[in-house]
Amino acid sequence: MEQDKKIRFAVVGCGHIGKRHIEMVRREPGAQLVAICDVLPLELLKLDTGDQSVVPAGALNENRRAGNEPADVILFFKDLSTLLSANLPIDVISICTPNGMHASMAIKSIEAGYHIVVEKPLALTVSEAERVVFTSLKYRKQVFCVMQNRYSPPSVWIKELIDSKKLGDLYMVQLNCYWNRDDRYYKPGGWHGTALLDGGTLFTQFSHFIDIMYWLFGDITNIQARFRDFNHSRLTDFEDSGFVSFDFVNGGMGTLNYSTSVWDKNMESSILIVAQNGSVKIGGQYMNEVEYCHVKDYQLPQLAPTNPGNDYGAYKGSAQNHNYVIQNVVRVLSGNACITTNVLEGLKVVDIIQRIYALKDK
């Protein structure tokens, strides 16, 4: 692509996370927001698009027939099929819909000729994720999986430390994810909490942290797990808590302890590492601060502050790092960078979660 050409985006799904994508695309100098899509009427979405007007696609066509060509507008579509059939000058489609729709919408968009940004998870099954992989290869399109926690300063730091081999052999890893999700989050008639569209606690709340674990240490094997539903039986179709133990394929062993049954607010997202030459713990509510670092012949550097978690009012999510995701998309499609989280990594996270959840039936 031309170096000075803006990368043009459409955002599908205008809920909480879709609004983050809209904001980040608009703030990115190398990007342009061309269209948005949602099943809700435009007037109910309460979108902030600054000085850009949002115009229903049908109304724009009427204006054009009348000889009027509005400048710098964002087109609004009610469904993905109509958006894709409009043949707009779009480079990338951001998919921010419920989890169970990600794979089918990604495949449909790739087949229509577009690169994809897809919110986590890539899919709810390995077979669906593999179809996205195969389609992206067939049509030679990039799939950017949103795993924005990789950009937090503690995550960048620990990745560099592990890759440098300063820690030596890995002994143990403990990943703790203790959050609150109650009836302020699981609304009657909504998609959160449903097996078909949500998929489960590990997919919706904690796939970011499973991605971090895989990114740092690689794949897992010899998985054992226990699950429990403490206080969500009337709210969800699945567990709210679990203990998972495993071995790393590359050596060492680990545990994942998680729950959304914490009262009132998120408590902790942390990773503790015990290795040959030292120990490290990154903690806080969103794995946002180094709580312990004692490593042989090593001094912890000064890290930049981590962005706060996404604030959705009654509940909070992972770190506000979507700006880095959009920057990476623009740089990759402009030929200036490599993709940060590719479709195969998105597939691997789905694979790990599916293998954990397969133990529910045993």
Q: Which residues does 260 contact at the CB level (< 8 Å), separation at least 6? A: 179, 180, 181, 201, 205, 232, 240, 241
Please say which residue of 147, 166, 201 terminates a domain.
Answer: 147
What pLDDT shows up at residue 154?
97
Geometric angle at alpha carbon 19, from 16 and 131, rounded to 5°: 80
Do 41 and 111 have their domain in common?
yes
Could you give the C-alpha distances from 326 to 11, 202, 271, in angstroms and in order?
12, 24, 26
Rounded-to-integer distance, Cα 256 and Cα 311, Å: 25
Read off the CATH number of the domain in which 130 is found: 3.40.50.720
Which 3 state secondary structure label does DSSP give 238? coil
Please say which residue of 100, 131, 147 terminates a domain.
Answer: 147
Which 3 state secondary structure label does DSSP give 245? strand
**C-beta of residue 202 within 8 angstroms of C-beta of residue 260:** no
Listed residue (99, 77, 100) closest to 90, CA to CA? 77
Rounded-to-integer distance, Cα 276 and Cα 97, Å: 43
User: Number of structural domains, the chain?
Assistant: 2
The full DSSP string for 28-62 is: -TTEEEEEEE-SS-HHHH----TTPEEEEHHHHHH
Listed residue (293, 311, 312) closest to 301, CA to CA? 293
Do 141 and 176 have their domain in common?
no
Is 278 part of any domain?
Answer: yes
Strand-pair partners of 228: 241
Is 357 part of any domain?
Answer: no
Is 351 part of any domain?
Answer: no
Rounded-to-integer distance, Cα 114 and Cα 123, Å: 18
DSSP-derived letter for residue 237 is S
Listed residue (162, 180, 178) closest to 170, CA to CA? 162
Query: In the structure encoding, which two tokens stand for residue 22, read together?
Result: 């809209």
Q: Phi and psi for 178 in degrees, rounded to 5?
A: -120, 105
Digit-by-digit pLDDT tens for the chain (362 residues) are 455 689 999 999 999 999 999 999 999 999 999 999 999 999 899 898 888 889 999 776 555 544 444 557 999 999 999 999 999 999 999 999 999 999 999 999 999 999 999 999 999 999 999 999 999 999 999 999 999 999 999 999 999 999 999 999 999 999 999 999 999 999 999 999 999 999 999 999 999 999 999 999 999 999 999 999 999 999 999 999 999 999 999 999 999 999 999 999 999 999 999 999 999 999 998 999 999 999 999 999 999 988 776 555 665 566 678 999 999 999 999 999 999 999 999 999 999 999 999 999 87
Do 91 and 48 have their domain in common?
yes
Is 215 part of any domain?
Answer: yes
Q: At which residue do the structure tokens 């990943």 appear?
A: 175
pTM equals 0.94
Do 25 and 127 have their domain in common?
yes
- Domain around 23: 7-147
What pLDDT shows up at residue 58?
79
Query: In the structure encoding, which two tokens stand for residue 43, read together?
Result: 């007037």
Read off the CATH number of the domain in which 214 is found: 3.30.360.10
Do 139 and 191 have their domain in common?
no
